[in-house]
Amino acid sequence: MLIMPLWKRTTIVLIALWGIAAAMPNMFYARVEAHNDAQAIAEEGGAADPAALAAWPSFLPSNLMNLGLDLRGGAHLLAEVQVADAYAQRMDSLWPEVRDALRDLREQTGAIKREPSNPDVLRVGLSKPEGMPAALEAVRGLTNSVVTLTGAGQSDLDITSEGNTIVIQLSDAEKSATDARTLQQSLEIIRRRVDEVGTREPTIQRQGNDRILIQVPGLGSAAELKAIIGTTAKLTFNPVVSITSNASADPGPRNKLVPDIKGDGTYYIIEETPVVGGEDLTDAQPAFDQNGQPAVNFRFDPSGGRAFGDYTGENIGKPFAIVLDDQVISAPTIQAHITGGSGIITGNFTIEESTQLAVLLRAGALPAKMTFLEERTIGPELGADSIAAGRTAAVIGMIAVVVYMIACYGAFGVMANIALAINIALLLAVLSTIGATMTLPGIAGIVLTMGMAVDANVLIYERIREELREGKAPARAIELGFERAFSSIMDSNVTAIITAIIMFWIGSGPVRGFAISLGIGIFTSMFTAVYVTRLIITLWLNARRPARIIV
């Protein structure tokens, strides 16, 4: 007779029952997914479909595994970030600081002006060359140390002189740091924009030095994904120099000509350097203006709010332009000093347009433009084919394992197969609970787990056979079989866990999906092989009390 404490038997049974219940929603994926979507709408106060809410009992678990791009279909983009754009933006923002730093040196430097140059270089001309040493000293006071481990101690700016011109550009260390920041900022902004539209489990990751991979399961097309993330959504507030209907008008130095977003032939000549930019926005929400028309409320951070308030206080009665992606969406006249760092963007918006604009502004402006090198739309029918193929592979693998175990171990093989079924249920339950994304490699990990699960049973059963051959009683042979096989099972699974951790750490995308399925499967297979199988054998042995057993 084998003895197993009641608390241990109860715990094993409860865990097995939880696994079966938590894995069950995946057998009714479409129904449960519709129920979850309707429930989310209801929780937000919307009008949910009663039929969808009733499609799945609310007292049952409803967590699902998220299906990856290869199973669900969706959109795939590979984008290249134009990191050099960030250099030009840095030079544009540096010019007012340089101008202010040289303001008190006018007697030595004479008049100063920004000279034409490449976008990533700032050239400042002096009318009095003899003031160059003092000017260089003043401008070098604007430098900072590069804040990276590799560039620590180096200056972020290279400042030199050519005749009566100061030449300023980013140092190599700062360019490297800027590239890293630009990529990271782009990743975060893209992730926020995609999350705003409610897609499930997108894959957004860096590839190489200047590329980003974006995969969004369940999205209709690559064009739809580009519409969400493709625009830089660059918002600026610029002083208006003049308004014209001439599309080829010369804007003059340090100015630019931009059209009205309405496309009515109106063009604005605005100063190139903005008063404040979208990067200073902290919030943007769709709203309605005083006339009941769709608009967007916005709020700046403290520094942006001060700059905006100072400008409006000094330019009452003058127009200024709200520019989005080089198009003027509104050009109101400043009526009063605007304090508090908040305002409203009005225009001929529809409700959908104001909502989309608020999403883009709230997510932030991309720090640089992106070029799409690769775009694919994977239809749901391809995903359905992949699911069917994966299901077929899993069923074939399951049947092969079941037949082998029964052929080799008879009744004990049946017990191992019951434990194997519980193992698969537990694996699916854990994947659903943590919201893991299932891909084709993940299915391969599940199929591999089946073999690993019965491998532990094979070790146990072979050890029991050895004990029986030495003349041990059935109960004692079973007890020793489990005890002495445990070290071998532990050793093999520890090495497999280390392999899964390494794959997850250095891998990406599909490799990580395989590593997650494999890693979780190792723990569930150990539990079912060592504990569930032992519980089944214990119950059988204590009920039948056979004089001899055949393993």
When pLDDT is cut at 50, 70 and 90, the band that residue 182 belongs to is: confident
Q: Cβ neighbours of residue 384 under 8 Å, at least 6 residues apart?
A: none
Evaluate whether 233 touches 324 at the Cβ level (below 8 Å). yes
The winner for highest mean pLDDT among 80-84, 329-333, 340-344 is 80-84
Is residue 45 exposed (0-12), middle (13-18) or buried (19+ Cβ within 10 Å)? exposed
| Bridge partner residues of 75 (DSSP) | 216, 377
State how far the Cα of 308 lies from the Cα of 288, in Å rounded to an integer.
Answer: 22
- The per-residue DSSP string of 427-478 comes to HHHHHHHTTPEE-HHHHHHHHHHHHHHHHHHHHHHHHHHHHHHTT--HHHHH
Place of tokens 């109106």: 266
Q: Which residue has the higher pLDDT, 512 or 418?
A: 418
pLDDT digits (tens, 9 = 90+) for 289-302: 778 888 878 787 77
Please compute the mean of the pLDDT values over residues 502-512 and round it to a whole number: 78
> What is residue 369's DSSP assignment?
-
Percent of the chain beyond pLDDT 90? Answer: 17
pLDDT number for residue 193:
72
Token pair, residue 512, equals 């990580």
Looking at the predicted structure, is the pLDDT value of residue 403 above 70?
yes
Among 64-68, 132-136, 203-207, 376-380, which stretch is predicted with the lowest mean pLDDT?
376-380
The residue count for the chain: 551
Residue 168: pLDDT band by 50, 70, 90 thresholds? very high
Query: In 507-517, which positions are buried (b, 16+ CB within 10 angstroms) versus exposed (e)?
Result: eebbebbbbbb
Integer Cα distance of 458 and 452 in angstroms? 10
Q: What angle do CA 269, 358, 294 make, to 5 degrees?
A: 80
Mind listing the pLDDT tens digit for each residue in 125-157? 998 888 899 999 998 888 887 755 554 567 888
The pLDDT tens digits of the residues spanning 297-317 come to 878 777 788 888 888 888 888
Sign of CA dihedral 24, 30, 33, 34: negative
> Do 105 and 128 form a contact (C-beta atoms < 8 A)?
no
Q: How confident is the model at residue 218 (pLDDT cuts 50, 70, 90)?
A: confident
Say if residue 122's pLDDT is above 80: yes
Task: Read off the tokens for 7.
Answer: 């608390």
pLDDT band at 419 (very low <50, low <70, confident <90, very high): very high
Contact (CB, 8 A) for 551 and 412: yes
Beta pairing, strands 74-81 & 211-217 = antiparallel
pLDDT at 363: 58
**Mean of the pLDDT values across residues 100-111?**
86
Residue 1 has a pLDDT of 65
For 154-176, b/e burial (b = at least 16 CB within 10 A) is: ebbbbbebeebebbbbbbebbbb
Cβ atoms of residues 329 and 231 within 8 Å: no
What pLDDT is attached to residue 428?
92
The residue among 429 and 288 whose pLDDT is bigger is 429
For the residues 218-231, what does the mean pLDDT come to?
Answer: 74
- Predicted local confidence at residue 360, as pLDDT: 61
What would the DSSP string read from start to end of 345-362? EESS--HHHHHHHHHHHH
User: Please, which residues bridge with residue 345 across strands?
Assistant: 296
